A and B are shown apart, each in its own frame.
Chain A
Amino acid sequence: MSISLNGVTKYFGRDLVLDDVTDEVPLGSLTALLGPSGSGKSTLLRIIAGLEPLNEGHIELNGRDVTSVPARDRHIGFCFQDYAPFRQLTVSDNVAYGLKVQRMPKAQIRQEVDDLLRLVRLEAFADRYPRQLSGGQRQRMALARALAIKPDVLLLDEPFAALDAQVRGELRGWVRSLQRELGITTILVTHDQTEAMEIADRLVILNEGRIEQVGTPDTMYDKPANDFVQGFLGPITTLNGVAYRPHDIELCAPDEGVAATVTDVIRLGFEVRVVVSDHNGTSSWVQLTHDEAQRLNLIVGERVSLRVRLGAKKNRGPEIPEVFRIKGVESTSD
């Protein structure tokens, strides 16, 4: 089911948290709402679910205006960041909750719950209570509970934020393949750009309640509409006032590039980050491969020159309206 947001505007008291948000989420897509904390992304998700009223605008699900339809009639699967397990109920009763509301016959509920638990690989935990599950298991239970009502749309609020790194990685891949398999239109809120690019086929970047850019992860990374998007989707290094990704910069012989001083060398396995500062003291970094770094044998305090690698993209969209300052790295429009 497609979701269309039309001029969605929301105030908390006098604070404008969503400013005229308009977007069309295509059927079967996995869209990541990406933005820093306070950008309004979770509020937008709650508004789509009907858990939060909006001040202006319209929401349509597959052409049906649901703006004033309460959450319980929207037929949307929603998962909170804390998974909100029903603590007093067993895993299977948690999953069965929505089906009992629909007054489905008992035998059929048992069948459906069995199928769902198998789908989320919790069949061995049917009679446990949520407190007896690990974080990842609770998340899968919440997902099964939301999917039980066969929702038209699945909304996930920071689904992986509360998990440790390894479980997070596994679940990301699993959720992605599950979403593909079921073909359910999904919106996922996250503040983690790596996660968003890995899992989503469509990104919506929010900042201060406004959409900065919408597109596929690839186009967003290579052609960010502005400095905010560019800075948010990954690190940037400026050279002569133009922003580049750190892996598009290389070190070269003096006179061939911009002079800088090495202030730190950080080894991350196959990748080495060389932190440099230019004559203004502005700090940024260059990404080298392990081999390159070994060959150059850089030491802190060494004077080097930077230049753009052959074939690197000038990492910029066509129209750049404003000047931003991001993460201590100054960049201006060209």
Chain B
Amino acid sequence: MRRSPVGLRIAVLCYIGVLIGVPLIFVFQQAFIHGFGAFWTALRDQQMDHAIFLTALVALVAVPLNVLFGVGASLWIVRHPSRFTRVLDTIIDVPLAISPIIVGLVLELVYAQGGWFGSLLAKLGWQVMFSFPGIVMASIFVSLPLVSRQVIPLLRELGDHQEQTASTLGASPLRIFFTITLRSITWATAYGVSLTLARVIGEYGAVLIVSGNIALVTQTLTLDIGANFDNFNSYQGFVGAVLLAMASIVLLLILGVARHRERKRNEYLA
């Protein structure tokens, strides 16, 4: 392998260091400034524990739904293309292009009491805004395309010859999906899942608006961190930030493995 130019190496490392390295070290240093005992006590803060629990619950609902939607939509778009799916293919990307604050505001306008659906749902006794369903909805919205963006190009590249061969061998569509299609897209889906999970647990803007940010009720971990900094309780905030950072690091490791698997697959394709 050729050695990379020294100037290029320094530039890239400085860029990453200034943007990611230094802030990350700072967050960890601040969280452990009073030692492990204080960190452990801060972890058992009631408000934060509720926020962690709520965030986990939101992820537990939002991520599987987006995986089902993402894989289903990808199969539809790639395997049964039509004029409609071309439009769908573009619409799926919309959440990435819209600011999360706008997403929150629009969801609130539509689903809050007095909104288009809000009034109807209120009559049925369902409160969507400022409660769990609203948070899940906003989380799903902001992470909508992250699975399908990974799966669609892979399905296109794979083509449908394996699936068609399986059908000539007598396999049912369901069997083909589980034995051929799903096994081929497992790693791409895993990659999409990690991206979705990271986005869901890290989302701030959209959730801030639709949740109402009520402590011990609708406050997710990111909102709790924000509230702590606002209330001059920055130590508690850093502890929460470290938790999020560690979750991200674990996800990054999973992503690394998924990527490695993908690369192996590409070597065969080449």
Chain A residues within 8 Å of B, Cβ to Cβ: 49-51, 70-80, 82, 84-88, 97-98, 101-102, 131, 142, 145-146, 148-149
Greatest chain A CB density within 10 A among B159, B165, B179, B265 is at B165
Contacts of A73 in B (CB 8 A): 170
Chain B minimum-CB-distance residue to A80: B161
Docked pose: A70 CA to B267 CA in angstroms = 35
Out of B159, B164, B169, B268, name the residue touching A97 (CB < 8 Å).
B169
Out of B168, B172, B175, B180, name the residue touching A76 (CB < 8 Å).
B168
Determine whether the beta carbon of A71 is less than 8 Å from that of B164: yes
Determine whether the beta carbon of B162 is less than 8 Å from that of A84: yes
Determine whether the beta carbon of A97 is less than 8 Å from that of B168: no
Determine whether the beta carbon of A87 is less than 8 Å from that of B162: yes
Out of A74, A87, A102, name the residue touching B168 (CB < 8 Å).
A74
Chain B minimum-CB-distance residue to A155: B168
Say yes or no: is B119 at the interface (Cβ < 8 Å to chain A). no
Determine whether the beta carbon of A86 is less than 8 Å from that of B268: no
Determine whether the beta carbon of A146 is less than 8 Å from that of B180: no
Say yes or no: is B233 at the interface (Cβ < 8 Å to chain A). no
Chain B residues within 8 Å of A, Cβ to Cβ: 159, 161-162, 164-172, 175, 179-180, 183-184, 265, 267-268
Q: A80-B161, A88-B183 are in contact. Are A51 and B168 (CB under 8 A)?
A: yes
Determine whether the beta carbon of A84 is less than 8 Å from that of B164: yes
Determine whether the beta carbon of B162 is less than 8 Å from that of A71: no
Contacts of A75 in B (CB 8 A): 170
Contacts of B265 in A (CB 8 A): 87
Docked pose: A42 CA to B7 CA in angstroms = 55
Determine whether the beta carbon of B161 is less than 8 Å from that of A84: yes
Determine whether the beta carbon of B268 is less than 8 Å from that of A87: yes
Contacts of B172 in A (CB 8 A): 72
Docked pose: A139 CA to B221 CA in angstroms = 55
Contacts of A98 in B (CB 8 A): 169-171
Docked pose: A131 CA to B166 CA in angstroms = 18
Determine whether the beta carbon of A49 is less than 8 Å from that of B183: no
Docked pose: A101 CA to B169 CA in angstroms = 8
Q: How far is the CB of B176 from chain A (nearest CB, A)?
A: 9
Contacts of A85 in B (CB 8 A): 162
